Structure 1
Amino acid sequence: MKVEFKLFGLLFVFSVVVGTIYGIFTYWDEPVGAVGLYLTGALCALIAGFLWWTGRKIDLRPDDDPMGEQADVEGDYGFFSPHSWWPLFLGASLAIVALGLAVGWWLVMLAVPFVALAAIGWVFEYFNGEHSI
């Protein structure tokens, strides 16, 4: 967890520095940008603190070892369907939902059933038919 801790620590420093620079260049007349950057820094500090606190309590992972090999990571990564078309349909349906947020709510209402159908199809893909488990 050392890499993640360092990454979020750097993001914290970056957000605070950029928030201060933003505030100086806008003469603190437009506070929303600086507040947003400071809140981003606060959330990054929160995550970095959690990762640091958790990293102290657990053993080193293989990715924390500079000499670690890919084979050191054990366990099953899960089953991923090599021929599923459902992610394509779900992505297209969610793209229509995002378009509907910009164009009009009527398009969102038309796309939501397709999102539900694609999600259900993807989840229950292997429960019937030729490839049932």
Structure 2
Amino acid sequence: MREQGKIFLGLAVFVLAMAITYGLWTNSSEHGIEAAGTTALFLAFALCAFIGYYLAFTARRVDSGAGDNPEAEVADDSGELGFFAPHSWQPLSLAVGGALAFLGVIFGWWLLYWSIPVILIGLFGWVFEFYRGENQNQ
């Protein structure tokens, strides 16, 4: 996890340099700065920095894995990775609600009146999925 953090932090530095270069390069006295690309690059920098910081911070609190050992084999990282829900319809509900919410930005904010309940139902169902029904823990 430590190596992935370094990779993302290095990528963040590169994207920041590209964002500054792009912002200066597209800046002209006639048209002003090109805001969409510059903003997207600065947001990509922030995303890489957040992920890199999280991975670097988490790497200090957990044991180092096979990815941090340069002498490790691929098979050293095999085994159980965690528990994942075997089947769930809740991500589909969240995806439909999220798609409606983003369509609300395009077509009108009124569409949020239908998307927010769908998102809340999907989120509530996903959080409490293992507290009810056939997946209920005994």
Provide the aligned length of Structure 1 versus Structure 2.
133
Unaligned runs of at least 5 residues, structure 1: none
Identity %: 35
- Deviation by residue 1:3-43 (Cα, 9 ceiling, x = unmatched): 43144224413431452254134347427565875686588
Pair 1:124-2:125 in alignment: no
Partner of 2:101: 97
The TM-score, its normalising length taken from structure 1, stands at 0.67
Cα separation, 2, equivalents of 1:13 and 1:6: 11
Higher Cα radius of gyration: 1
**Does the 8 Å contact 1:16/1:37 carry over to 2?**
no
Unaligned runs of at least 5 residues, structure 2: none
The TM-score, its normalising length taken from structure 2, stands at 0.65
1:115 is displaced (CA, Å) by 0.9
Partner of 2:5: 4
Partner of 2:84: 80
Q: Please, which moves more after superposition, 101-110 or 52-61?
A: 52-61
**Does the 8 Å contact 1:97/1:112 carry over to 2?**
yes
Partner of 2:33: 30
**Does the 8 Å contact 1:86/1:118 carry over to 2?**
yes
Change (3 A) 1:71 1:23: same
